[in-house]
Amino acid sequence: MTIQARDTAAPVHLRTVTFAHPDAIRLNDSVQLEYAERYGDEGDVTPLDATMFEPPRGRYLIAYDEHGTALATGGWRSLDKNEEGYEDGDAELKRMYVTPQARGLGLARRILAALEDDARAAGRVRMVLETGTKQPEAIALYLSSGYALAEVKFGHYRFEDISRCYVKQL
């Protein structure tokens, strides 16, 4: 799938990769460092493995520029009702990240839309995500994309005061 990044003439391509792909690992390491800087801890310790993002139960995308440089990433995984507060038919958004040099190009919004479409096509009925209060850019993206603050928090950080959970019907 090819998308045109805003404010640039160069095309940006979204590619499905595994969560174990070298570019996915590198971008995940970068986002973990950013989490650690913002929150003063070791980053997001939510248990994840590569198989969680394999179609049709998930998908992991990376946005590449025309030179093959990985610019942004995001994925979704299927979840159903469990003790962490998820509901049947949930798709959880994970590891949304845009490299500093690619911020402001609209890549996060494009990846988000592609992941929502894919989760919907896979039969998921609700997209859910957890973020934190020290990520105001992420919160602004989700609110402007139709997400609402969840009435009941879910996920690994559901008991943390700075955790914010959002939902959107697909």
Q: Would 6 be classed as within a structural domain?
A: yes
Element (H, E) at 112: helix 107-121
C-beta separation of 155 from 46 below 8 A? yes
Q: Would 144 be classed as within a structural domain?
A: no
SS3 sequence of 21-48: CHHHHHHHHHHHHHHHHHHCCCCCCCCC
pLDDT at 5 over 80: no
Residue 4: per-residue pLDDT: 40
- In tens, the pLDDT along 86-145 reads 999 999 999 999 999 999 999 999 999 999 999 999 999 999 999 999 999 999 999 999
- In tens, the pLDDT along 21-76 reads 999 999 999 999 999 999 987 777 788 888 999 999 999 999 999 999 999 999 99
Q: Would 166 be classed as within a structural domain?
A: no
Q: Would 141 be classed as within a structural domain?
A: no
Task: Report helix angle 107-121 to 136-144, nearest 10.
Answer: 50
Residue 10: per-residue pLDDT: 63
Residue 122: per-residue pLDDT: 97
- Token pair in block for residue 56: 């049709």
Query: What's the predicted TM-score (pTM) here?
Result: 0.91
Q: Would 42 be classed as within a structural domain?
A: yes
Q: Which domain holds residue 9?
A: 2-124
Q: Could you tell me the CATH number of the domain that includes residue 85? A: 3.40.630.30
The total number of structural domains that make up the chain: 1
Q: Would 14 be classed as within a structural domain?
A: yes
Please state, in angstroms and rounded to a whole number, the distance separating the CA atoms of residues 97 and 74: 6
Q: Would 27 be classed as within a structural domain?
A: yes
Q: Would 37 be classed as within a structural domain?
A: yes
